[in-house]
Amino acid sequence: MKIGTPKEVSAGEARVAMTPDSALQLQKLGYECVVESGAGVAAGFADALYREAGVEVVKTAAALWKAADIITKVRPPNATEAKRLTDEKLLISFFYPAQNTEQMELLAGKGASVIAMDMVPRISRAQKMDALSSMANIAGYRAVIEAGNNFGRFFYRTDHGCRQSSAGESAGGWGRSGRTCCHWHSNIIGRDNLRV
C-alpha cells in the first residue's frame, strides 16, 4: 500500500504532511511512500532528502494522486484534488466537515473515504494523532512573540504582583506568557490579580 503527499496548493502554506523522518517510520510499518516533487521545500525538506529516505518522488500532482492509495495533506482538498479522489482512495487531512458540507456530499457521492484530522477527539488515547493541540500550542507561542514585538518594549514582572500584559488564545499562550506565574505570585503576597 502506498502513502502519498502532494505539494500543498493553499497560498502561504509551508507545512507538509510527510517528512523524510515520518516516511522512514511508515516504511518500517510496511508502507511505500511517494511525494510530489517540491512538496517539502517550503518546510525545509528538499526532494533529495526524501530520496535518501527511500521515498519515490514524482513530478506532478496528477501522478501522485494516481500512484497513492492513501493521500496525506495538511489543508482540505481544493476542487481539483477532490475530483481526483475515488472510492479506492483514502484522504487524511484537515477537512472541517461542518464548514465544508458541499465537498463532503461530493466525496460521499463518489464513495471516497476521508479522515478529518480536525475531528480527532482531544483525549489522552488520541493524543498521538491530535493535530489541533499541537497547532494551538504553536499558535500560543507565536501569539506571545507577536504581542511582544508589537508591544514596543519589554514585558516585565516583579515579585510584588503582576505588572505584565499578555496575549494568547491557546493553552500554549497562557504558560508561555508568564500570566499563570503572575497569578500565583499575586495570590501568595495578597495582591489583587490584574486582569487584562
Strands (E), 77-176: 90-93, 113-116
Q: What letter does residue 101 receive in the DSSP assignment?
A: H
pLDDT digits (tens, 9 = 90+) for 41-96: 999 999 999 999 999 999 999 999 999 999 999 999 999 999 999 999 999 999 99
Q: Which residue has the cell 510499518?
A: 29
pLDDT band at residue 120 under the 50/70/90 scheme: confident
Distance in angstroms (rounded) separating the CA atoms of residues 111 and 34: 23
Model confidence band, residue 196 (pLDDT cutoffs 50, 70, 90): very low
Per-residue pLDDT reduced to its tens digit, 151-186: 877 766 555 554 444 444 444 444 444 444 444 443
Confidence bin at 18 (pLDDT 50/70/90): very high
pLDDT category of residue 130 using cuts at 50, 70 and 90: low
- 77 closest CA partner among 46, 117, 43: 117
C-alpha distance from residue 12 to each of 9, 129, 143 (Å): 9, 24, 18
pLDDT at 167: 47
The sign of the CA dihedral 71, 64, 106, 90 is negative
| Domains, the chain, with CATH or none | 2-119 (3.40.50.720), 131-188 (no CATH)
Average pLDDT, the chain: 80
- In this structure, are residues 136 and 171 in contact, taking their beta carbons and an 8 Å threshold? yes
| Residue 132's pLDDT band (cuts 50, 70, 90) | low
